[in-house]
């Protein structure tokens, strides 16, 4: 066997070993599947800040009061939240937006990111943004979303919740922003 072939075999073996190690060290390993997870949710922020943007109105009587539990029906985050019990940390009345943007962290296109609240966008005024509007946000729910140009996919006037929950792989997520009321169900 020539030296070039041996070097190639060694390189490929090391590359495969590194790749397998990297994938198995990812906190989503064994919980998620699909390209969306590998591209977008590797940048998830597990310990979110409890701070919220100025002007966000506290919900007067949310369906799920602070401190209560609910079951998440959310299909975003590659299904990680579907069926998990969440604890309500805060509740606000606002418009929630699903957006598409290119991550400033990875350069990957992130489609249908749920949710960014109206008050997290930069200089947009008070009126609800129309679908296809391009705007900036200072939100950093995911690494790489702040200062990226976001295109509004759709919006929903609703109560949004900040929640804590434990992923199926045992990792605790705190102050997760946001889950909309329509994505929650009572604990039975």
23-82 pLDDT, tens per residue?
655 544 444 444 444 444 555 666 788 889 999 999 999 999 999 999 999 987 777 788
102 backbone dihedrals φ, ψ, rounded to 5°: -100, 120
Give how far Cα 12 sits from Cα of 1, 6, 9, 68, Å: 16, 10, 5, 51
Percentage of the chain exceeding pLDDT 70 = 82
Task: Report the alpha-carbon angle 67-46-184, nearest 5.
Answer: 45
Task: Report the alpha-carbon angle 39-43-45, nearest 5.
Answer: 150
Is domain 40-186 classified as CATH 3.30.930.10? no
**DSSP secondary structure of 127-177:** SPPPTT-EEEB---SBTT-TTSEEEEEEEEEEEEEEEEEE-TTS-EEEEEE
81-111 pLDDT, tens per residue?
889 999 999 999 999 999 999 999 888 898 9
Distance CA 62, CA 94 (A): 12
Strand partners, 184: 72
């Amino acid at each position: 066997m020539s030296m070039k072939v041996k070097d190639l075999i060694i390189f490929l073996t090391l590359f495969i070993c590194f790749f397998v190690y990297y994938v198995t060290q990812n906190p989503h390993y064994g919980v998620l599947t699909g390209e969306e997870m590998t591209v977008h949710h590797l940048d998830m922020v597990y310990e979110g800040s409890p701070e919220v943007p100025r002007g966000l109105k506290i919900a007067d009587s949310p369906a799920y009061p602070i401190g209560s539990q609910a079951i998440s029906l959310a299909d975003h985050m590659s299904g990680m939240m579907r069926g998990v019990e969440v604890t309500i940390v805060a509740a606000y009345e606002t418009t929630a937006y699903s957006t598409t943007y290119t991550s400033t962290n990875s350069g990957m296109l992130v489609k249908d990111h749920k949710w960014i609240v109206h008050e997290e966008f930069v200089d947009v005024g008070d009126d609800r943004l129309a679908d296809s509007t391009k705007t900036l946000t200072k939100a950093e729910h995911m690494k790489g979303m702040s200062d990226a140009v976001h295109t509004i996919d759709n919006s929903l006037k609703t109560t949004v919740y900040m929640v804590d929950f434990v992923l199926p792989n045992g990792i605790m997520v705190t102050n997760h922003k946001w889950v909309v009321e329509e994505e929650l169900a009572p604990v039975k």
